[in-house]
Structure 1
Amino acid sequence: MSRPMSIEKVNEYGRNAVRISIEGRAVLLEAGDLDAVIEHLSALRATMRPEVPKAPLRAHQYIIEVDPCWHTEHHPLHDGAVLFLRHSGLGWAGFALPPESLARLHHALTKQLEASLEVHGMLN
């Protein structure tokens, strides 16, 4: 039984690309094209049901980016901040956080940092 779709990384003529094959037809996408497809698919996915779960699923094995690049700036239209996180495969994602969410995130991260410091014996 053949699979109707396959996706594989290839090195075509010395250039990295991704080959997407669907029912015998294939297309090669270089990095810029692939970025555009990922962005377009994520915008489409955001409009579909069922929606993405509100909390991470314990049974799912997520791709974890270790020590990602991040950037924050003031939201131009609202109070709060915009937080950008960079994933090496998915690119930059921006999240507008109102003050209440910033306070909850600050509290949650502070608890994680304190727990980490306690485990490593760094707190007085």
Structure 2
Amino acid sequence: MSRPMSIERVNEYGQNAVRIAIEDRAVLLETADLDAVIEHLSALRATMRPEVPKEPLRAHQYVIEIDPCWHAEKHPLHDGAVLFLRHSGLGWAGFALPTESLARLHHALTQQLEASLEVHGMLN
């Protein structure tokens, strides 16, 4: 049985909201409610199979956040760091990276930075 669903942004009485309709039922979610639904859905998705692929799929068109806000700090309980990245639609996501992962990330980003500086003639 198919359940036609629609999701649209609405401006109900001057406040931004999202209207989700499934068949003859609908709900209007304001910003805080929508944030809670996104967070809850992402927690549920993390427990489902098949799992999210370990590598980005080349055929998928991902939404790319340009120059996102980020924050890094020492992990309070483990060796390594916590990296927070801000997506304008999904919010902040935190990633606990052990020291070995930090070293690999540092190496990968250094390679990208050096290549970018070379292209722009800024590398000696």
The 5 A counterparts of 1:75-86 are: 75-86=75-86
Q: Which residue of 1 aligns with 2:116?
A: 116
Per-residue deviation, 1:115: 0.3
1:92 aligns with 2:92: yes
Q: Counterpart amino acid of 1:62?
A: Y
> Structure 1 length as normaliser, TM-score?
0.97
Q: C-alpha distance in 1, partners of 2:33/2:55?
A: 30
Percent identity between the two aligned chains: 89
Per-residue deviation, 1:23: 1.3
What is the aligned-residue RMSD (CA, Å)? 1.1
1:105 aligns with 2:98: no
Deviations 1:40-92 (A, max 9, x none): 00000000000000000001110111000001111111000000000000000
Q: C-alpha distance in 1, partners of 2:115/2:65?
A: 21
Deviations 1:4-54 (A, max 9, x none): 111000011111100000111000001100000000000000000000000
Q: Structure 1: 5+ residue runs without aligned partners? A: none
Q: Structure 2: 5+ residue runs without aligned partners? A: none
Q: Counterpart amino acid of 1:20?
A: I
SS in structure 1 at match of 2:55:
coil
Q: Which residue of 1 aligns with 2:73?
A: 73
Q: How many residues align?
A: 123
Per-residue deviation, 1:3: 6.2
> Structure 2 length as normaliser, TM-score?
0.97
Q: Counterpart amino acid of 1:22?
A: I
